[in-house]
Structure 1
Amino acid sequence: MNTLSTAPPDTELASALRLDVALNLLSQAGWQAPVSVTPGTVAWLQAIVDGLCDVSSRDALTGLANRRQFEAAINREVDRVARNGEPALLLVLDIDHFKKVNDTHGHAAGDEVIKAVALALQECVRPMDTVARIGGEEFAIILPNCPPAFGQTVAERIRKKIEGKPVAIIGGEALQVTASIGGAFAPQWVRSSAVLWSERADQQLYKAKAQGRNQTCLEMPPLTVVSAEEKGLLFASLTQSESNTTE
């Protein structure tokens, strides 16, 4: 039985917590308290806490996961791949010539472009995937259980989706938007790290830009070389495991 919804009101506690600032922040983010919850109850306070947690993990402009949420998700995925050996793909994306959009049409137009790209990304992924805005015009997508045979197809679908949707800006003008995409698969059964995985994807993104932008470049598993850092992490975990069994 859920005791939170039946807890008696504690208006004194709610007042002491000075929730007006939190409620104002949540209101600006479009959050509304559940109508079934009585203000001042423990359930109401819990709803506010949940709302604050959600707001703190979301990008304000796009509603996507923010960098904090992305870092938590990629660390979980690195651990899962090491334990289960299932393939996982990380895509990093950069909007091409975004500075020119801001300089020519203004930051309001730039915001519209970012929101349009965010929407396109959400339309191309599964519910289990994590889509995040990790910088100004930079995005990242974590795709768990994505077989290597489908990696290039997924990346190209995203690229074509963005290219095929001109963005309407203030004044009625439509901007043609493209993006460069880099990707890398996490080493299976290897204790890697989020930093090393991200670096591999970034290297492919730089290659896509160098090849003229509006390109997709992926590092495929057969070409993946386990780095010295990853070998160190693997051997460290084995040493720790052996140490635990001898104690």
Structure 2
Amino acid sequence: MQLLQQSGHGDLCGAPGSVAWLQGLIDALCDLSSRDALSGLANRRAFEAALLREIDRVARSGEPALLLILDIDHFKRVNDSYGHRVGDLVITAVAETLQECVRPMDLPARIGGEEFAVILPNCAPAFASTVAERLRTRIENRIIEISPSQALGVTVSIGGAFAPQWVRSTASLWIERADLQLYRAKSEGRNRTCLEPTPVSTVSAEEKGLLFGGAVPEDNDA
């Protein structure tokens, strides 16, 4: 119960042992297991489960879905210069900014130490760059108070990719494509967004195998 109280789930409805109390306890534990303790965002496990659901939805509906991967630039310098307490403040501030910028249907998550992701269902390609840039600039402009007399700011690099429409892909392939764009953003100087130019219209050999339920025939003309 102490853990629930520390996470903000201490006030359960009903008398201890009642149906309402037990249901509240189950709901609180489920929420706690899906949240990152530091940032309050969805954790890696919840993110991967949501990604699989979104892949299934896109495969059935053909609606676009965008995945953004964000990485705090030079985060190691923050920890080395100010200590891990300030590093935690930076992670919390970035998480709060993401939560403030997304729609109710979107899912921001912390998926690694200084790495975040956002799943954006039904995000039209025409708006993808605007959405990603809004996140980047809001984080860049955030002033993080680390003491009564000191503040700092951080930036993020962002990579993004759309799920292949009408194709039942995999979470790892989608993440890999977004990661490629994140690496490009870092290599081009950081504090920038890099998205795939257009939603992917072609599919990989692995995705073809998933689509047709068998191995992809080899090209015998090679």
> Same fold by TM (over 0.5)?
yes
Q: 2:87 aligns with which of 110, 113, 121?
A: 110
TM-fit CA distance, 1:153: 0.5
Q: Deviations over 1:31-56 (max 9, x none)?
A: 12334x11121221121111111101
Task: State the partner residue of 1:28.
Answer: 6
CA distance in 1, matches of 2:199, 2:6: 48
Note if contact 1:109-1:170 (Cα within 8 Å) is conserved in structure 2.
no
Greater C-alpha Rg: 1
Alpha-carbon separation, structure 2, partners of 1:153 and 1:30: 34
> In the aligned structure 2, how far is the partner of 1:86 from the partner of 1:210?
31
Give the SS at the match of 1:200.
helix
Of Structure 1 and Structure 2, the greater helix share is in 1
Q: CA deviation at 1:102?
A: 0.3
Aligned to 2:220: none
Structure 1 residue 204, shift from structure 2 partner: 0.3
Segments of 5+ residues of structure 1 without an aligned counterpart are 1-22, 238-247
Matches within 5 A, 1:21-170: 23-35=1-13, 37-170=14-147
CA distance in 2, matches of 1:220, 1:190: 19
Q: Which residue matches 1:20?
A: none
CA–CA separation in structure 1 for the residues paired with 2:23 and 2:98: 32
**Counterpart Cα distance in 2 of 1:221 and 1:234:** 21
Greater RCO (Cα-Cα under 8 Å, separation 6 or more): 2
Deviation at 1:170, TM superposition (A): 2.7
CA distance in 2, matches of 1:232, 1:223: 17
What value does the CA root-mean-square deviation take over the aligned residues?
A: 1.3
Identity of aligned residues (%): 68
TM-score, normalised with respect to structure 2: 0.93
Q: Residues of 2 paired with 1:224 and 1:86: CA distance?
A: 13
| SS in structure 2 at match of 1:49 | helix
1:176 Cα shift? 1.9
Shift of 1:224: 5.0
